[in-house]
Structure 1
Amino acid sequence: MSVENYYTPKPTRLGHLVLKVKDVQASVKFYQEVVGLSVSDWIDDRMVFMRASADHHDLALLQLPPDQLTQQDPLQSRIEHFSYRVESLEEMKQITEMLLARGVEIDRGLGRHGPGENTFIVFKDPDGNNVEFYSDMLQITQSAPYEASVWDSKVLHTFDQWQLKEFVVEPPERIKEILPE
């Protein structure tokens, strides 16, 4: 298939960033007090979703595991992934088909997260960075308020509301560990 025959995504903006941090509690305090972000949700006490606007999150902070706190290579990225917003689930499906047709390595998806309720497909760029397309992010406004909650990382619904039924690749090992037998 020639390049002109592939679907071309139409991202509307840079969406959110997920950072791996040494101390998630200290980082939350910093991003609340210094940057002015609000907490939308937590996954256990290991991951927090924060926002500056109506999007459920534009920054998420992920606690580094204890064995990585002192072993972090300063040349290795602390970015878990960054994302681009697209308009619809239909476009997400077209993007997924395009990634598969092009042989792009898909890390996880197609799915719908619990926190934020957004659809997702995460894939690798040529340098191995995780890039995500997403749609349908929960909007938090004065007319649509939302109360932050804590999601359980041991429940598949937290990771994927669709229970992996739309996944086009094997789920990550951390997700396989919570699958019912």
Structure 2
Amino acid sequence: MIDLHRLDHVCLRVADLSEASERWQLQFGLVERSRDGGRALLACNDEPYCLELVEEGSPGHDHTAFELGVTCTPDDARAHLESNGLAWYEREGSLFVDDPDGRPVQLMPYRAPATDVDRWPQHARPSSTVHLGGPRRLGHVNCLTGDIQASFSFYTDVLGMRLSDWLGEAGVWFHIGSDHHVMALVDLGYPHFHHLAFDVVDIGKMRDMLDHLGRHGRWVSWGPARHGIAGNIASYVRIVEEPCHVELYCDMEQLQADHVPRVYPDDRYSSNTWGPLPPRSYFRFDPVAIEFERESLETRGHVLPPPEPVS
């Protein structure tokens, strides 16, 4: 069997490593831990890193990495993947396997805390390097999928995640620990990495970060919203350069060990108890949708045209 401990990091491909690293640091309060060749490692707080930037290929999502559980060795994970008939490859001590939408997933060996102090709550750990102003941690990821049932089977049966909730048949949320979700999928008939999510301490911190992002030309693609599913307060910011969104969130529902998955109706209240569903541009990454979102054209009465067919 396989067991996951936590979400470790997200890797994005970028056009210019120096520009991208400086931008993520300046706009989201991250800190560059190291840079080697065409790779930079960035952190929210005192974790080794949570965002990996690589200067290769077309900009966008490269892979999502999870750390294996304390009793699950890479040999255990390798045998588990082979027993499920999945192709995998090994690089830098980690296993890589593609999900049904073709997105690579990295499985990293468990890293034990170096000292007892490293096991203390984040705010109680002494530091001489942590900067003021950043989010607390990388909390979860969300992807659009072209086959939600195949992806559901992959993340539960192959990676061992546990089902949190369904949104009708259109969305599914998974957890590893007590956080309501570490991974979510929404079925829109096509695959795309949608967002990575940073945990902020409260809505006041979210306000400060959104003010800061607004001064740097970013805009909110949806929110602030209060999700019915998971209960978190969330704001989503469009990232044009590495096509995705960043979610800033707080107040995530904490699940008990005896949690029974729920099926929510696919309606506005399940998605946002405070107000409207997201604009349709929120689910798209083409230039027309981005322009509609940037200029708030949907809320001004313009109808977002369908996307151009992919040839």
- TM interval, shorter chain, is 0.7 to 0.9
The answer to whether residue 270 in structure 2 is matched with residue 158 in structure 1 is yes
**Compared with structure 1, are the counterparts of its residues 136 and 38 closer, same or farther at alpha carbon in structure 2 (3 Å cutoff)?**
same
- Contact kept, 8 Å, 1:41 with 1:49, in 2: the verdict is yes
Q: Is the 8 A contact 1:7 1:94 kept in 2?
A: no
SS of the residue corresponding to residue 30 of structure 1 reads helix
* RCO higher in structure (CA 8 A, sep ≥6): 1
Identical amino acids, percent of aligned pairs: 28
Q: Report the equivalent of 1:88.
A: 202
Give 1:129-144 correspondences, 5 Å limit. 129-142=244-257
Q: 1:126 deviation in Å?
A: 4.4
Q: What SS does the corresponding residue of 1:95 show, helix, strand or coil?
A: helix
| Map of 2:174 onto structure 1 | 50
Tell me the alpha carbon deviations over residues 4-57 of structure 1, each in whole angstroms, 9 at most, x when there is no partner: xx9954211111111122211111111111111111111110110001111100
One-letter amino acid of the counterpart of residue 182, structure 2: D
**Counterpart residue number, 2:71:** none
**In structure 2, the residue corresponding to 1:134 is in which secondary structure?**
strand
Matching residue of 1:75: none
TM-score computed with the length of structure 1 as normaliser: 0.74
Structure 2 counterpart of 1:172, one-letter code: P
Give CA-to-partner distance per residue, 1:64-85, whole Å, 9 cap, x none. Answer: 32xx4xxx7xxxxx20111111
Is the contact made by 1:96 and 1:110 (CA closer than 8 Å) also made in structure 2?
no
Q: Give the AA of the match of 1:146.
A: H
Q: Secondary structure of the equivalent of 2:275?
A: coil
Q: Which runs of 5+ in 1 are unaligned?
A: 1-5, 73-77, 165-169, 177-181
Aligned residue for 1:64? 188
Which residue in 2 is equivalent to 1:15? 139
Q: Detail structure 1 runs of 4+ shifted over 3 Å in the superposition.
A: 6-9, 173-176
Larger Rg: 2
- What secondary structure, in the 3-state scheme, does the structure 2 residue paired with 1:28 have? helix
Q: Does 1:146 align with 2:256?
A: no
Q: Distance in 1 between matches of 2:28 and 2:204?
A: 12
Taking the aligned partners of 2:153 and 2:137, their CA distance within structure 1 comes to: 27
CA shift at 1:147, angstroms? Answer: 2.5
User: In the aligned structure 1, how far is the partner of 2:166 from the partner of 2:210?
Assistant: 28
Seen in structure 2, the aligned counterparts of structure 1 residues 171 and 20 have a Cα distance that, compared at 3 Å, is closer
Pick from 279, 295, 309 the counterpart of residue 172 of structure 1.
279
Tell me whether 21-30 or 34-43 shows the greater mean CA deviation. Answer: 21-30
Q: Retained in 1: the 8 A contact 2:228–2:270? A: yes
Question: What count of residue pairs does the alignment treat as equivalent?
Answer: 153
8 Å CA contact retained: 2:28, 2:135:
no
SS at match of 1:49: strand
With the length of structure 2 as denominator, give the TM-score of the two structures.
0.45
- Is 1:24 equivalent to 2:137 in the alignment? no
- Which residue is equivalent to 1:115? 229
CA RMSD of aligned residues (A): 2.5
Q: Is the 8 A contact 2:174 2:184 kept in 1?
A: yes
Take 2:188 and 2:280, find their aligned partners in 1: how far apart are those partners?
17
Distance 1:159 1:95 in 2: 23
